[in-house]
Structure 1
Amino acid sequence: MDMPHDQNMPMIMNMVMQMNFYWGKDVTILFKGWPNNNLGMYILSLFFVFFMAFGVEIMSMGPIMINKRPIGIIESGIYYTLRMVLVYFVMLAVMSFNIGIFIVAILGHGLGYVVVKFRELVAAETTTDSNGTDPKV
């Protein structure tokens, strides 16, 4: 029995997605043709994913100033939306199943978390010092 000829069949057959972790620079991250099997572009994409994951953690502290005025609420909404865009971009990059991308995403989140916690610790100590109490007690 003959199957109907579909002109889109060759295109569909070329869209096979990797479904297990693998090493290598031959990967598509976020956009078709990026990093285009080029080692330099692959390394650049590793840095890009690292800094996106790092940025997600830094942005998890929230906006510096939140106020109840309408403009402050709009700014907070934009800030949150930008953070979520980064979150989903990192998630989609990791879904390439490339081990290098996975490792740099984890390292970016980890280092970002350490920086955020360090900043919170410094802020807590500064607050304690400005209250006139000895933080060492």
Structure 2
Amino acid sequence: MATLDGPTGLLLHVRPDSGLDPDELTALTARLRTELLDDVDLTDAEPVEEESAPEDAKGLGSLAGVLLVHFVDLDMLRAVVTSVRNWVGRTGHVVELNYGGDTLKVTGATAKQQETMIDDWLARHAAVS
């Protein structure tokens, strides 16, 4: 099992490609949450309410579209990122992932470009053996 150098919570912020109202954004985020829970053996993935937002959430603006995903190891983090990348590819929306203050924007970039960005981002959070 790969270890992590940092927290075990990941903030996901859905950034839709069009101006959705808060209810539509909440529904879109719920679909991503369901997919994550179906695809990855997560500890939890919960919508973030304003009163329970972690410090990392500051500056996100509205909390509609924000999930806090809990995981146990680097392999699970990689699985979450892969699932988000697949979801972004199908939906055309953008998702920002924030882990320990480090943000990765998952977009419709080519698969190779996105894979390189994700690998670099994940490598920054792997514990030194």
For the aligned pair, the TM-score class normalised by the smaller chain equals under 0.3
* Bigger Rg, structure 1 or 2: 1
TM-score (norm 2): 0.27
Greater relative contact order, per chain length (Cα 8 Å cut-off, separation 6+):
2
TM-score (norm 1): 0.26
Question: Which is strand-richer, 1 or 2?
Answer: 2
